[in-house]
Amino acid sequence: MLLEARSVTKAFGSFKAVDAASVTLEQGDVLGLIGPNGAGKSTFFNCLTGDLQTTSGKVLFQGQDITDATPEARADLGLVRSFQVPQTFEGMTVLENVMIGAFLRTSHRSEAETKARAVLQRVGLSKLADAPARSLGTPGRKRLEIARALATEPKVLLLDEAMAGLTQREVQLAIDLVRDIHRSGVTLVIVEHIMEVIMSLATRVVVFHQGKEIARGSPREVTTNPAVIEAYLGKRAAKAAAGHTPIELMGGPAT
């Protein structure tokens, strides 16, 4: 097992944003974390990445207890995240931004540059290598964020709404990119509101509602699960919607 969360709870005061969530991730998985707004996805995700300290429970990476490890220590082990709002160094070039990721594995500038250029090639940003990062639009920034994470050579890449704010066409291109990353051997955890992304990429899905897991299974299983539909729509609306295609109701493509 690559990554395991054992009964992770995160409380803010007396409020449990995540309540005893357990998840396992095997090599080659694409795990989707979904749920309505405020369900606790980001909080749980941040407990996996080390950006938040868990209140109780454990996080293990390749059997090693990393519950108290910093994000940097986790990245060193191969557990790396992207941010929903890209953390771009505006004054640097696109290439330099990616080199920051590459410096995790090498202290040699030329080696970091070679690696960063290869990653830029992979994500389709080569032509913009020498452009200032501030000149990129939303799709470019999202790609740059992924590129910097890839340059660290992750075993597990955690993507936090990597496709938010993209047009339909851009989402398709981003799905292709993530699929390519997965094929190259990187295991993925994806928090995403766009159901099309989950349906296209996830091999398994865990659904959160009010801090707790309410369903798990294949994308199709969870999106046809009555408890999931109710969590998204509320009881009355879920009843009224019975008979419609659930995925369509949840903002995904009509099937």
Ligand X SMILES: Nc1ncnc2c1ncn2[C@@H]1O[C@H](COP(=O)(O)OP(=O)(O)OP(=O)(O)O)[C@@H](O)[C@H]1O
Between CA 199 and CA 47 the distance in angstroms is: 25
Between CA 208 and CA 191 the distance in angstroms is: 11
Nearest distance, CB of residue 115 and ligand X, angstroms: 32
> Which parts of 93-122 interact with ligand X (CB under 6 A)?
none
Please, which residue, 7 or 255, has the CB nearer to ligand X? 7
- Cα dihedral 250, 50, 157, 107 sign: positive
User: Which amino acid, residue 143?
Assistant: R
Indicate whether 144 belongs to the interface with ligand X (CB under 6 A): no
Please, which residue, 17 or 25, has the CB nearer to ligand X? 17
End-to-end distance of the chain based on CA atoms, in angstroms? 34
Q: Token pair of 30, please?
A: 């694409």
Please, which residue, 62 or 84, has the CB nearer to ligand X? 84
Nearest distance, CB of residue 50 and ligand X, angstroms: 15
Question: How big is the site for ligand X, counted in residues (CB under 6 A)?
Answer: 10
Please, which residue, 44 or 61, has the CB nearer to ligand X? 44
- The 10 Å Cβ neighbour count of residue 72 is 9
Nearest distance, CB of residue 41 and ligand X, angstroms: 4
Angle between helices 138-150 and 109-123 (to 10 degrees): 130
- The 10 Å Cβ neighbour count of residue 199 is 20
Nearest distance, CB of residue 214 and ligand X, angstroms: 12
Nearest distance, CB of residue 37 and ligand X, angstroms: 4
**What element of type H or E holds 24?**
strand 15-25
Spell out the alpha helix ranges (H) of the chain: 41-49, 71-77, 94-102, 109-123, 138-150, 168-183, 195-201, 219-223, 226-233, 235-241, 246-249
> Which parts of 8-47 interact with ligand X (CB under 6 A)?
12, 17, 35, 37-43
Angle between helices 168-183 and 138-150 (to 10 degrees): 10
Nearest distance, CB of residue 52 and ligand X, angstroms: 8
- The 10 Å Cβ neighbour count of residue 118 is 14
Nearest distance, CB of residue 17 and ligand X, angstroms: 3
Please, which residue, 28 or 38, has the CB nearer to ligand X? 38
> Which parts of 181-200 interact with ligand X (CB under 6 A)?
none
Please, which residue, 41 or 122, has the CB nearer to ligand X? 41
Please, which residue, 19 or 147, has the CB nearer to ligand X? 19
Q: Site residues (CB under 6 A) for ligand X?
A: 12, 17, 35, 37-43
